[in-house]
Amino acid sequence: MQPYNTTKLIDELEQQTESFLQKAVSDWQMTSPARLLKQPAENKWSLAQCLEHLNSYGHYYLPAIEKAIKTAKQNNWPSKEIFKPGRFGDYFTKLMMPDIQQKKMKKMSAPKNHTPTAALDSGKVLSEFISQQEKILVLLQEARKVDIEKAKVPVSIAKFIRLKLGDTFRFIIMHNYRHVLQAERALQKACIEGAEIGETTALASF
């Protein structure tokens, strides 16, 4: 497994998270609730559902990450120059990777407790997503001070599996990326359909 320069890895994770935050603040906050809640097809998630799914994971992982950083500080585990991914962490991260060239993702079923309902308050969901991205940026800054290889975070679905803190960040942010792309596709379809309906209405009134 490829080792990483710790500083460069955290820099990259910060840049990715900042891009999600920028998109949410600059684009999605300016979008109507109807479009945020529009499902692209039956049994396909709307943008709001994609974000609610991510929020549900954040409710577990962000406090768990914060606890791991606190433990590392208490035990005086200083940052190291090189981070070596673990076997499980690398596997979970790669599992989340979308195929950008093929513009598709490996199909996966979300656990029931992470499957969002269609009836959502889009404003509340978006606000929580923004808050979580801001929190991730704070945690990444704190992680620069500790050994992200020695500090561990239990996996939500199997707490006996503990990922390295660096791998937890990689997995969570890749998972965010995966569903941000999905959210964008849902919104694009909602905008196209909205434009088509608008054109049809305009022609009918003419």
Hey, CA dihedral for 140, 146, 149, 152, is it positive or negative? negative
Domain that holds residue 69: 4-205
Are the beta carbons of 53 and 131 closer than 8 angstroms? no
Distance CA 121, CA 135 (A): 21
* Residue 201, pLDDT score: 40
Distance CA 183, CA 130 (A): 14
pTM for the full predicted model? 0.88
pLDDT tens digits in sequence order for the chain, 206 residues long = 889 999 999 999 999 999 999 999 999 999 999 999 999 998 899 999 999 999 999 999 999 999 999 999 999 999 999 999 999 999 999 999 886 544 555 565 566 667 888 899 999 999 999 999 999 999 999 999 999 999 999 998 888 899 999 999 999 999 999 999 999 999 998 887 655 444 334 334 43
* Residue 203, pLDDT score: 33
Count how many domains the chain has.
1
The CATH number given to whatever domain includes residue 170 is 1.20.120.450
